A and B are shown apart, each in its own frame.
Chain A
Amino acid sequence: MSVFDSLADKLQGTLSELRGHGTLTEDDVNRAMREIRLSLLEADVNLRVVKQFTATVRERCLGAQVVGQLNPGQQVVKIVSDELTSLMGGAARDLSFSPRPPTVVLLAGLQGSGKTTVAAKLARHLHTEHRSSVALAACDLQRPAAVEQLVTVGGQVDAAVYEQGTGAAPADVARWALERAVSEGKDVLIVDTSGRLHVDRELMEELAEIRRTIKPHDVLLVLDAMTGQDAINVAEQFGETVRFDGVILTKLDGDARGGAALSVKAVTGTPIVFASTGERLEQFERFHPDRMAQRILGMGDVMSLIEKAERQFDEREAEELEHKLRRNEFTLEDFLSQLRQIRRMGPLTSVLGMLPGIGAQLKGAKVDERELDRIQAIILSMTPEERRRPELIKGSRRLRIARGSGTSVQAVNQLVKQFDQMRKLLRQLGSGRMPDLGALMRQGR
């Protein structure tokens, strides 16, 4: 994987030696800005946007107090994350439905961005989410077999497809389709158009004419999530010609970081409305700006993890635990409380997935949550005395615990044995600290 994988990792690495300083110096901030610039460029955020963005972040970082539990690295990550999220836009947005149906939606975009597939996906989405009756208008008369493709995918989502072959002018087909949608009482009409280059004056004018003819309530730009620096040229040109109201980001199921989304939002101010996330027609969802911000940062969900860790880990409890470890008094009781603390943060896989760097490594690794349930049940079936002194657990006690926890004598044995080994290991670590998750979290990386 690329060295730019996680901005959060890099920032925390760059700034790790600063732990303990009260404020960020100008030097620290400049170093951090370099990492941010590179990371955002690597994520395909447009250079112009990167410059504006880092200027804003720099301002905020300078002299920012390093407060609370956060080290300077985390502090900068938090500022970047906040700024990115606000730039990406806050809440998810929906289409603007017309009080007088049909609501007309016009799709536009470059060739290959996925308009025809999106038309069907959007139809399906509107049908399942809003119970809308949807018709699709086939106005891509350029690409060979585009009409056939729309007819096929439209059929797959039970949407009516209005088509007149490829003989007429696209604007005429659009007008005819609108009249038909009105007379057939459709709730929504989605107009699929040809892919076109934003520099092709003639075809852009054709699009503008379709717009003037049918006066859509929503014009949506369909944009490939893998688009690079050129995204802003595309957005600006389409914006000028057809004034789009929202963006649909496609092919988000790949591993592109999707910086183009940020560029387009920053340059045009237009929100991303939907995201297309797979080959199947149901893989289409409302767009979540905050998730996108995290994705561009390539930092898992590190902020929410920091927040969760702060909420869930009781400082005093942790100190007490450390004390016990040093004195070799760690019991099953303590083990249970540790286990519960970690699990309060969510399913273990998702907790691990939130850790930058670790997320990718553990992709595919399975943590059996049921195994953890079983361990918890076994410990809970012990008496407090047994939890403190596991060596008491013999014969009939074993059987009782096994029955109480719905497991087997072997399982109880195994847990006791493993716990014993763990204790020995901890004893060897002796004077050292227990590498518990809570401490790791607070110390940064």
Chain B
Amino acid sequence: MPRDWSELFVTGEPAADAPAPASAAADAEPQRRRFLGRLRESLSRTREALSGELAATLAVPEDEAGWERLEEALVMADVGARTTAEVVGRLEAEAQGGGLEGRALTERLAELLAEIARGDDDLIDITARPAVILLVGVNGTGKTTTAGKLAYQLRHRLGKSVLLAAADTFRAAATEQLEAWAQRAQCPVVTGTPGSDPGAVAFDALAQARTRGCDVVLIDTAGRLHTQDALMDELAKVRRVIAKQAPGAPHETLLTVDATTGQNGLRQAALFAEAVGVGGIVLTKLDGTARGGIALAIARELGIPVKLIGVGEGLEDLRPFDADDFARALLE
């Protein structure tokens, strides 16, 4: 599973030590850093708490109430009834069959959850030049913010030249928002006029990336509800424009899912996958109290793994997904 940036991205280059993040940009976000600190703290607290509490809870696996508490913990984390039933069912069967107890059972549970969340292919391939990454999602899930942070990471951690494309031509000031991020990440940005064809912006961006010799093109699109057929068609068209311009592109399509989302997240993922194909989830806003368990349901039912998580509003607050940490946090 990816733990740092060079492990997440398939670059086709020999792995090198990631360059230190530009200090100027890091200084620009001093007050934002506390989010990351807080999350780290809470994750480590979780780890300890989990081992203690789960061991107590599951010391007697044949205790019905114990299993029920476990189910409830997963449901409260938005994992959903079906996925919860399956995970707990599997654990229960293994416990009875293999005599798993106490600590071993706890560890096995975290393992099961991590396995599901990880999926088969949780890497992002950016070997193509330019590699095209398309960002899609429902309104307000954090596409533009993710685009900005991802551009920064690609540039400062992996030394890639990145071009941002503001293909959200619908929402007022979306272009300005991405421009602000582009400035922070020190990346060029291609924009269109408000209301113009998002496909045209994507087209321009690809053309410019070629002339400039950029490594990666990040295309930010307008938020849309998965139930709006016309807007989903528009998105499919953007994808077709990209594919026509660069064979094999987009090389990655990331769906942003807000960690606070409930069971509707499954519908979102299913319909976006149907319209444009989704290679991975960016689970955003994980710095609150929401556990993002819906990502587990999405991975299990649709086979789409989480690749990135958003944990704050600063440039550094986007991280490669770590299935084990996630699984533990789910049970906090």
Binding site for B on A (CB under 8 A): 4, 38, 41-44, 46-47, 110-114, 142-146, 148-149, 151-153, 156, 197-200, 224, 226-231, 233-234, 251, 253-257, 259-260, 279
B289 near A198 with CB under 8 A, answer: yes
B287 at the interface (CB under 8 A from A): yes
**Cα A255 to Cα B266 with chains together (Å):** 11
- Is B285 a contact partner of A144 (Cβ separation < 8 A)? no
Q: Chain A residues near B259: list those with CB within 8 A.
A: 230
B35: nearest chain-A partner, CB-CB: A200
Q: Are A251 and B139 touching (Cβ within 8 A)?
A: yes
> A152 touches which one: B76, B172, B179 (CB < 8 A)?
B172
Given the complex, which residues of A lie within 8 Å of B80, measured CB to CB? 41-42
Chain B 59-114 interface residues, beta-carbon cutoff 8 Å to A = 72, 75-78, 80-81
Between A and B, 22 residue pairs with Cβ closer than 8 Å are A4-B81, A41-B75, A110-B288, A111-B313, A114-B140, A144-B181, A145-B176, A145-B177, A145-B179, A148-B172, A153-B172, A199-B287, A224-B260, A226-B261, A226-B268, A227-B260, A229-B77, A230-B260, A234-B288, A255-B227, A255-B267, A256-B262
Interface size class of B (residues with CB under 8 A): 35 or more
A231–chain B nearest beta-carbon distance, Å:
8
Known: A41-B75, A110-B285, A148-B172. Is A230-B290 also a contact (CB below 8 A)?
yes
Known A-B contacts A47-B76, A110-B285, A229-B77; A254 and B176 likewise in contact (beta carbons under 8 Å): no
Binary contact readout B213-241 vs A (1 if CB under 8 angstroms, 0 otherwise): 00000000000111110010000000000
Assess the B140–A228 pair: CB atoms within 8 A.
no
Q: A110-B260, A114-B139 are in contact. Are A148 and B288 (CB under 8 A)?
A: no
Q: Is the CB of B173 within 8 A of A145?
A: yes
Q: Which residues of chain A are within 8 angstroms of B141 by Cβ–Cβ distance? A: 112
- Kindly state the separation between the CA atoms of A200 and B263 in the bound complex, as whole angstroms: 25
Q: Is the CB of A111 within 8 A of B263?
A: no
Q: Is the CB of B225 within 8 A of A253?
A: yes
The listed residue with most B CB atoms (<10 A of its CB), out of A197, A226, A227, A231, is A226
Whether the pair B76, A253 counts as a contact (CB closer than 8 A) is: no
Bound-complex Cα distance A38 to B71 (A)? 12
The distance in angstroms between the C-alpha atoms of A254 and B72, with both chains bound, is: 27
Chain A residues with CB under 8 Å of B138's CB are 226, 251, 254
Q: List the 5 closest pairs (A to B, CB-CB), nearest first.
A: A228-B262, A112-B140, A144-B180, A44-B262, A152-B172
Q: Does B165 sit within 8 A of A, measured CB to CB?
A: no
Residues on the A chain within 8 Å of B262, using CB: 44, 226-229, 256, 259-260
Residue of B with least CB distance to A254:
B225
Measured CB to CB, the closest approach of chain B to A197, in angstroms, equals 4
B142 in the interface (beta carbon within 8 A): yes
**CB-CB < 8 A to A41: which residues of B?**
75, 80-81, 263
Residues of B contacting A257 in the complex (Cβ-Cβ under 8 angstroms): 263-264
Given A47-B72, A145-B180, A229-B75, check contact A253 B227 (CB 8 Å).
Answer: yes
* CB of A91, distance to nearest CB on chain B (Å): 27
A267 nearest CB across to chain B (Å): 14
Q: Is the CB of A42 within 8 A of B177?
A: no
Contact A230 B288 (CB under 8 A): yes
* B258 interface contact, C-beta 8 A: yes
Evaluate contact between B290 and A148: CB separation under 8 angstroms. no
List A contacts of B260 (CB < 8 A): 110, 224, 227-228, 230-231, 234
Residues of B within 8 A of A156 (CB): 172
Residues from chain B with Cβ under 8 Å of A38 in the complex: 81
16 additional A-B pairs beyond A41-B263, A260-B262, A279-B170, beta carbons within 8 Å, are A47-B75, A110-B260, A112-B285, A144-B177, A144-B179, A145-B173, A145-B179, A148-B173, A149-B174, A153-B172, A197-B285, A198-B288, A228-B261, A230-B259, A234-B288, A254-B225
State whether B267 touches A142 (Cβ < 8 A).
Answer: no
Q: How far is the CA of A142 from the CA of B287 in the complex (A)?
A: 17
Counting CB contacts under 8 A, is B119 at the interface?
Answer: no
- Report if B198 contacts A (CB, 8 A): no
B151 at the interface (CB under 8 A from A): no
Q: Check A254–B285 contact: CB distance below 8 A.
A: no
- In Å, the complex CA distance between A146 and B81 comes to 38
Is the CB–CB distance between A111 and B264 below 8 Å?
no
Known A114-B139, A197-B287, A251-B138; contact A228-B177, beta-carbon cutoff 8 A: no
What is the CA–CA distance of A143 and B173 in the complex, to the nearest angstrom?
11
Taking the nearest CB of chain B, how far is it from the CB of A411, in angstroms?
A: 35
Expressed in whole angstroms, the Cα–Cα distance for A244 and B224 within the complex equals: 28
> Which residues of chain B in 127-147 are interfacial with respect to chain A, using CB atoms and an 8 Å cutoff?
138-142
A200→B311 CA distance, assembly (Å): 12
- The distance in angstroms between the C-alpha atoms of A255 and B173, with both chains bound, is 27
- Interface residue? B171 (CB, 8 A): yes
B109 to chain A, nearest CB (A): 19
Q: Say yes or no: B288 contacts A197, CB within 8 Å.
A: yes
Chain A residues near B38: list those with CB within 8 A. Answer: 199
Q: Which residues of B contact A230 (CB under 8 A)?
A: 78, 259-260, 288-291
Q: How far is the CA of A260 from the CA of B263 in the complex (A)?
A: 11
B294: interface (CB < 8 Å): yes
Specify which chain A residues have a CB less than 8 angstroms from the CB of B170 in the assembled complex: 279
Question: Which A-chain residue is minimally distant from B142 (CB atoms)?
Answer: A112
B265 within 8 A of A: yes
Distance from B180 Cβ to chain A, minimum over Cβ atoms (Å): 3
Chain A residues with Cβ below 8 Å from B285 are: 110-112, 197
Residue of A nearest to B267 (CB): A255
B25 to chain A, nearest CB (A): 15
> Which residues of B187-216 are within 8 A (CB) of A?
none
B30 to chain A, nearest CB (A): 13
Q: Which of A4, A153, A228, A254 is the most central at the interface, judged by chain B CB atoms within 10 Å of its CB?
A: A228
Task: Provide the bound-state CA to CA distance between A393 and B224, in Å.
Answer: 57
Give the distance to chain A from B236, nearest Cβ to Cβ, in Å.
18
Q: How far is the CA of A144 from the CA of B35 in the complex (A)?
A: 18
Chain A residue with Cβ nearest B266: A2
What A residues does B175 contact at CB under 8 A?
A: 145
The residues of B that contact A231 with a CB separation of less than 8 Å are: 260
Cβ–Cβ < 8 Å partners of B288 in chain A? 110, 197-199, 230, 233-234
A228 touches B294 (CB 8 A): yes
- When the two chains form their complex, are residues B227 and A228 in contact, meaning their CB atoms are under 8 A apart? no
Residues of A within 8 A of B77 (CB): 229
Q: How far is the CA of A38 from the CA of B80 in the complex (A)?
A: 9
Which residue of the partner chain B has the closest CB to A39? B81
